[in-house]
Amino acid sequence: MQSSLPSKLHAAIIMDGNGRWAAARGLPRKTGHEAGVKAIRRTVEAAPGLGVGTLTLYAFSCDNWARPKAEVEALMRLLRHYLSREVARLVRNGVRLTVIGRRDRLPGGLAAAIGRAEEETAAGRELHLRIAIDYSAREAILSAAARIAGPEDLTREGFSRLVTGDADLRAVDLLIRTSGEQRLSDFLLWESAYAELYFTDRLWPDFGADDLAAALGTFRRRERRFGGLPAPAAAA
């Protein structure tokens, strides 16, 4: 087993199952999304103590605009509510918040609210919380390619910086998906090239610290070779 696992890893979660959680209880879908926000709080608070330094959450994809207008509007209100209610808690807990994805299609004032939240939490060092909103990995890659000035930029490191917008961002170590679905859904395709994948049947609103710990426990038992050979075989 690999001996030098990262002490502060990058975990990414595709938060899935809010609607099914609500339907199973005879509740409207927006109630499931509201419960999902509580799961975000639990997971964010548990992450630093479990060795996570960066946590990326997939909240709203570019394709989610195709959902019913009322549901999209409810999700945007929830995001606005989260920013207004949670920023002070994030600051107290040393959490830096950044949002990845497009901002030009967000409803009035929301992009500005995101910018203020990012500024207010910029000093956080306990956890880097990244929330993907109006995000598409393919669009991020295409956008990065469009910004390439010349062949000298076509290195993995340079291209990674363009795709992620963050020169210091480490690749995803562990990618978690809830609700039993087993696909990436256009999430962090570049950053997850060597991520360990963990799928759970737990619906996102029920996800908590114990579930995150279980996923991280599985991660730490895996052997990560990054295309190489296991240590004993390589030494033989």
User: What are the domain boundaries of the chain?
Assistant: 9-222
Residue 231, pLDDT above cutoff 80: no
Question: pLDDT tier at 189 (50, 70, 90 boundaries)?
Answer: very high
The model's confidence at residue 3, banded by pLDDT at 50, 70 and 90, is very low
Q: What is the β-pairing status of strands 52-61 and 9-14?
A: parallel
| Tens digit of each residue's pLDDT (9 = 90 or more) over 122-170 | 999 999 999 999 999 989 998 888 887 665 657 778 888 889 988 889 9
210 is catalytic: no
Q: How far apart are the first and last CA of the chain?
A: 16
Residue 218 Ramachandran class (φ > 0 left, ψ -120 to 50 alpha, else beta) = alpha
Q: Tell the residue number behind the tokens 């959902």, with chain if given.
A: 67
Among 88-102, 104-118, 213-227, name the one with the lowest average pLDDT. Answer: 213-227
Orientation of helix 69-92 relative to helix 110-120, angle to 10°: 20
CATH fold label, 9-222: Undecaprenyl pyrophosphate synthetase (3.40.1180)
93 catalytically annotated: no
Token digits for 168?
């210091």
Confidence of residue 16 (pLDDT cuts 50, 70, 90): very high
The single-letter DSSP state of residue 192 is T
Is residue 207 within 8 A of residue 43, CB to CB? The reply is: yes
Task: For residues 5 and 93, give the distance between their C-alpha atoms in angstroms, rounded to a whole number.
Answer: 25
18, 63, 64, 206: the catalytic one is 64
User: Cα–Cα–Cα angle for 88, 216, 184, nearest 5°?
Assistant: 85
Average pLDDT for the chain: 90
Per-residue DSSP letters for 41-54? HHHHHHTGGGTEEE
Q: Is the confidence at residue 1, as pLDDT, over 50?
A: no
Q: How far apart are CA 40 and CA 55, in angstroms?
A: 11
Long-range contacts of 139-147 (CB under 8 A, 24+ apart): 139/62, 139/102, 140/100, 140/164, 140/190, 141/189, 141/190
The pTM (predicted TM-score) of the whole model is: 0.83
| Catalytic entry in 16, 173, 186, 211 | 16
Task: Kindly indicate the confidence band of residue 235, based on its pLDDT and cuts at 50, 70 and 90.
Answer: very low
